[in-house]
Each structure stands twice: as structure tokens, then as C-alpha cells.
Structure 1
Amino acid sequence: MSIATTSNTPNPGALSGALGVSAKGVSRHFGAVHAVEHVDFRAPAGKVTALIGPNGAGKTTLLLMLASLLKPDSGTITIDGLDPAQDRAAVRLRIGWMPDTLGVWESLTAREILVQMARFYRLPAARIPQRVADLLELVRLDTLADQPARVLSRGQQQRLSLARALVHDPSVLLLDEPASGLDPGSRVELRKLLRSLAGEGKAVVVSSHVLSELDEIADGAVFVNQGRTVKQQTIEEAALAGRRYAVTALDSEALMAKLRELGVEFRVEAGRRPAVTLLLTHDAGAAALLSELVTSGIGVVSFAPATGALEETYMNLETEQR
């Protein structure tokens, strides 16, 4: 299904060349608390960019500033080349903001919420009903369209929040924990939808703690900690840095003896059937090691990545921070 706007107004992203999101040296303090401190951030058009960091790292504060809902104390932000401080109305037409909770209007129905949002963005009145119907179908809420938002489950409210962010066909999407509360099937659908939206040329920013999901959808990531940017990385760069693999065998002692013979460093992980984990820098190395183990008569039961590429980077950064 197409999710293009039903308005006669050209797509805002097309007006500006869909340049995406940029922040340079952005800071925001709340009294003595430095929530964000000189953060650099880039989310190009046509890509999904993950925003990753522990609780309290400043992710939500940064997203609020990118959404023009919070003014930075210093630094610059541009959305499709526009400065929110100078042209806030034009910037907000380009932004689709999905907070981590649905928020207000819980007494309104899902349909009423989307209709009201469409009116706020001044979509042509005659086209609003079809636009709303398309979005409700897109997020699989068409059968619940006339139910009050308060009776929707957490996952259903998340899907409604996403539809609300898409109502005006923005060129930039800022999503704070969009997969929170979603069932496994809905998570898969979300991944496909976000990839599709990026394929249309939108800049998609996703903040999430589910790093395995981000591996599947992100083109790159910005890691933040204690209010600062600590690393920016593409998925390709993350993969080249290596990831940890978990290996189990019918005879764990024989497996470990063979790994020692090959000079492969590993560590033993607790479990019903003890597994060993080891760091491999590329898929070819993993394939070669598996072949060597099987050829040597080791009864390998499982051999698979124990972490995603982004999770490996995150854990390494956490170790460095300590």
C-alpha cells in the first residue's frame, strides 16, 4: 500500500532535496544536569539511523531537540537544511515525531486522533478520510478504528502513534522506542515498514534498546553515553569490527581442546549445555573455523552469532567506559 500523502502540496522532503538531519555541538542542560553535551549527530535521507545508548545517556533529550520541541542551549540543528530556530513551522512540516508513549487524547478514537492530526497539518478536508483509512490499514488498526485510544493495548497504541507521525507524509521520522510493546509479528512488520520508508527517501531515526532489531533495519548508528557522542558507525563498519559467536558441541571438552590447539581465544558461558564464545572478524573466518571443527570430528551442535554487530560495538564501548 502506498503511504504517500493525499495532499496536493508537494512532499516537504522533495522541496528541500531531503537532506536529512544534522546536529553539531548540541548541548542542553537542566540546571546542574548536563543531559546532552556537545553531541554531533547525522541521519542522512534514505537511511535508517539508530540512536543507541544506555538509560540516561541523553537520547530522548536529543530527539526532542531534533523534533524542535526543546531548544538547545548551544550548537546547531538542521532538518533538510533548515534551522528550527529560524524556520520552526517549515521544519515541523518535515518532521514525523513518535514519542515512546501515545500521550494525550485517550478519550478520542483512533480514527478521530488521526483526523485531528491531519487537520492540524492542513491536509485537504476532502482527502482526509481516505488518508486516515490508509494509515489505519497500514498499522493494522482498521478493525479498531472507532475504539477509544485508552482501550488499546500498549502495542496497539504504539502502532497508532506511528500512524500519527506519518499522517502528513514527513521527510524525517524521529521514533523513540517504536518497538516497545509490539508482539513479534508486529516487530517484523515495523522493520519492513521502516526500510520501505527509508527506501522512499525519508531520513529515519530510531532510538531503541533492542539492538538485535536495529541490526536488521539500520544502515548506521550513533552511540551516545553521558550526553556525548562516543561513536558513529555504519553497519558495514560494525560488521568488519567483528562479532562474538557462540559454539556448543556434544563434547564440550573436546571442543575447547581443539580451539586451544588452533590458538583460538574463547570463554566459557554458563548454561545447561556449556557454550564457548569467541570473537571472529568476518563471515569467512567463521565458515573456515566451523569447517575445521567438523572435519576434526567435533560434534558441533550450534554455531551462530551470539550478538549482533551493533550490540558488539555497544558492549565494547560499555567496557571502555568502565
Structure 2
Amino acid sequence: MTENQPLPPDPDAQQPSGSRPPEPQLLKSPPAQAFRGLSATGLARSFGPVHAVVNMDLQAPSGQVTALIGPNGAGKTTLLLMLASLLAPDKGSISVMGIDPVKDPAAARARIGWMPDTLGVWEALTAREILTTMAKFYHLPKAKVAGRVEALLELVNLAPLADQKARVLSRGQQQRLSLARALIHDPDVLLLDEPASGLDPGSRVALRSILRRLAAEGRVVVVSSHVLAELDEIADGAVFVNQGRTVLAQSVEQATGQGRSYAIAALDPASLAAALTGLGVPFEAGKGRRTSVTVAVEREEQAAALLRDLVGAGVDISSFAPAVGALEETYMNMKVEQP
């Protein structure tokens, strides 16, 4: 993927409707600003006896990247399919930039870019042909199709492979093509199911950059991923789900400010253990190949103080950092049950 500037978002923006004048001699609070973005409330969906989604809520504001996090079988893909208007909920409501996708799926789909976890159909077509066909489906002006296709091929670093059939592309290359396909009509809402799957490290870095820029342009970006460490760098907030239910909604700032596990390594592990014992700090042996210990820290200020105390005690610290990412810490503390 490259750093090409994506095309600007759709300038048409729905404004909150006006409110009635206040009743005589009765003061009322001004109307709340209408939520702009993607929202879902009380969603449920079953497939026969299987309750894939039981009760899920989600709010993904414009201008932000929202992570969708949960174990396998939690209902994430079913939720994304309902948000994309590809699956009707049994219960609940969805708003896509103010549009109800159940009542008006065509209008909703015009605002949504959907990237499934696999490229899917049309493996006999070339990358250029796939994007050109998608542009026609979305009724892009004929004169603009070629330019839009070329811009997206450059964006996802597939220009040298533009005329290769999709079936010969690697898993990572197909993922990049799938992202370009989702962006072909310049959507306001982007829904991504495991977008980093199969990407090499360089492409993952480029993906992070692209998604952050898309959000900065005012778009809604929802990312479902099991790579939680990367989500710390991409997301503004996260919705945690398990067993078909929303468990928690949390901003990355909140996740970063919560209690964390820190991994500490020293040149002399014995001196580190002795110093922690002397400071009255409980610790456990680290779980990685490297000799280290983990300690529970409530706040970053406490972590800074502990590092200062250890150095002051003469311990040669070689590594001092959170043991896992902020969102991963929240996920692990949820103690979700694997299906």
C-alpha cells in the first residue's frame, strides 16, 4: 500500500433537524446534536436454533476508527453483515448516516464500503476489471471510472499487478484489492472484517496509515480484527462483544489509562527480584522466552515511579514496558469464554 491521498469524502452531510420553539413560560434545554455516524441498538439475529447475535449495541462516530473486538463465534461478522445491510436483523435498529438500511437498503449501500474477510467472487477477472465492474455497479460517471480505478490501485500498491487475474494474487494482495473495491464509490462508512489478514508487515503499516487518513477525512471506519496490538495504533475506540452481546464500549484513551501489566527485564534478574521484594511490589515470572517479570500497575504515574525506584536501587533495567497493548489488556481482563 502507498501513501497516495484518497479522494475527498462526499461533501453532502445530513444536518440535524430543527426543534419546535419552547412552550410559553417553560424553559427547555437545547436539542442534542444528532449523532453523525453509524449506530445500532438492540440488534438480534438467529439462524434457526443458533442465536448468532442476541443483544448488540454499537456507536461508531464519523471521523473515528472504531474497533470491534471479541473471540471467534462472538457474532462479529453477523453484526457487520447487518450493518452493511446484507443481513436483516430479527430485532433492533440501525442508522447509517441517518438512513435505515432495512427500510432503504439502496441508499444505505451507497454510503457503505464493505470489505469481507475474503475477496470472494470474480477470481477469473483482473484487479483492474474487478474495480471497473464495481465502479459501474455504483454508477460512477463513465469518464471518471478509469482515473478512480488507477488511483485506488496506486493507493493499495497493486498498480504493477493491475492486469493479473485475482486468482493468482496472494492472500495479502487479494486483501489489498478487497480494500480498493470497498473504496471504489468513495463511501462515508467503511466496514472491514479482518483487513490485516495475510498482509506483510509493510502493508500493515500502510493499512494503518490509510485508515487513519480516511477517519481524518470525516468517515466512519469500523474494523473487526484479532490483531489487538495493531488496533491500539489504529482505533479511537472499541466495542467488545462476546456470545452475541455487547460487553463493553471503551475509548483507547480510557483503555490506556486503566490498570496495566508491565513486563520488566534486568541484566541481573536476581537483583530485580530482590529490589521488587524490598519495595513490596508483587510480581510474577514472565511467560515469554526472555527472562522477565510482570507487575500490576494502576496508572502510568505509578509505572514511572516504580522505574525510578528500581534504577535508584541500582538495578540495571534492560526493558520496562506494558506486557500487552491497552485494548488487549481490556480483552484479557474480560475473561471471555471461548465457544
Q: TM-score, normalised by structure 2?
A: 0.90
1:75 to 73, 76, 92: 92
Q: Identify the range of structure 1 (72-81 vs 277-286) with the bigger mean alpha-carbon deviation.
A: 277-286
Structure 2 residue 193 is matched with structure 1 residue 193: no
Cα contact 1:66–1:77 (8 A) shared by 2:
yes
The verdict on how the C-alpha distance between 1:190 and 1:273 changes in structure 2, with shifts beyond 3 A counting, is: closer
User: 1:88-127 to 2 correspondence within 5 Å?
Assistant: 88-127=105-144
The verdict on how the C-alpha distance between 1:116 and 1:281 changes in structure 2, with shifts beyond 3 A counting, is: same
Structure 2 residue 221 is matched with structure 1 residue 204: yes
Structure 2 residue 5 is matched with structure 1 residue 2: yes
The percentage of aligned residue pairs carrying the same residue is 65
Aligned-partner Cα distance in 1 for 2:334–2:196: 24
Higher helix proportion, which one? 1
Aligned-partner Cα distance in 2 for 1:200–1:189: 17
Q: What is residue 280 of structure 1 aligned with on the other side?
A: 297
Structure 2 residue 138 is matched with structure 1 residue 140: no
Q: Identify the range of structure 1 (265-274 vs 178-187) with the bigger mean alpha-carbon deviation.
A: 265-274
What secondary structure, in the 3-state scheme, does the structure 1 residue paired with 2:81 have? helix
2:12 to 11, 14, 33: 14
Counterpart AA for 1:15 = A
For structure 1, the residue ranges without an aligned partner over 5 or more in a row are: none
What secondary structure, in the 3-state scheme, does the structure 2 residue paired with 1:34 have? strand
Q: What is residue 190 of structure 2 aligned with on the other side?
A: 173
Structure 2 residue 264 is matched with structure 1 residue 247: yes
For structure 2, the residue ranges without an aligned partner over 5 or more in a row are: 16-34
Aligned-residue CA RMSD (Å): 1.7
Aligned-partner Cα distance in 2 for 1:169–1:195: 15
Structure 2 residue 42 is matched with structure 1 residue 44: no
Q: What is residue 32 of structure 2 aligned with on the other side?
A: none
Q: TM-score, normalised by structure 1?
A: 0.95
Q: What is residue 25 of structure 2 aligned with on the other side?
A: none
Structure 2 residue 228 is matched with structure 1 residue 225: no
Q: What do residues 119-164 of structure 1 show as CA deviations (whole Å, max 9, x unaligned)?
A: 0000000110000000000000000000000000000000000000
Counterpart AA for 2:129 = E
Aligned-partner Cα distance in 1 for 2:292–2:236: 31
Counterpart AA for 1:210 = V
Q: Identify the range of structure 1 (210-219 vs 276-285) with the bigger mean alpha-carbon deviation.
A: 276-285
Aligned residue-pair number: 317
Q: Identify the range of structure 1 (124-133 vs 272-281) with the bigger mean alpha-carbon deviation.
A: 272-281
Cα contact 1:239–1:281 (8 A) shared by 2:
no
Cα contact 2:44–2:92 (8 A) shared by 1:
yes
Cα contact 1:248–1:300 (8 A) shared by 2:
yes
Aligned-partner Cα distance in 1 for 2:167–2:212: 29
Q: What is residue 330 of structure 2 aligned with on the other side?
A: 313
Cα contact 1:242–1:309 (8 A) shared by 2:
no
Q: What do residues 192-217 of structure 1 show as CA deviations (whole Å, max 9, x unaligned)?
A: 00000000000000000000000001
The verdict on how the C-alpha distance between 1:272 and 1:232 changes in structure 2, with shifts beyond 3 A counting, is: closer
Counterpart AA for 1:14 = D
The verdict on how the C-alpha distance between 1:320 and 1:266 changes in structure 2, with shifts beyond 3 A counting, is: farther
Q: What do residues 226-264 of structure 1 show as CA deviations (whole Å, max 9, x unaligned)?
A: 000000000111111122111011222221221122222
Aligned-partner Cα distance in 1 for 2:155–2:245: 36
Cα contact 1:110–1:145 (8 A) shared by 2:
yes
Aligned-partner Cα distance in 2 for 1:146–1:273: 47
Counterpart AA for 1:193 = I
Aligned-partner Cα distance in 2 for 1:229–1:81: 22
Structure 2 residue 47 is matched with structure 1 residue 24: no
Cα contact 2:44–2:91 (8 A) shared by 1:
yes
Cα contact 1:158–1:181 (8 A) shared by 2:
yes
Aligned-partner Cα distance in 1 for 2:5–2:227: 28
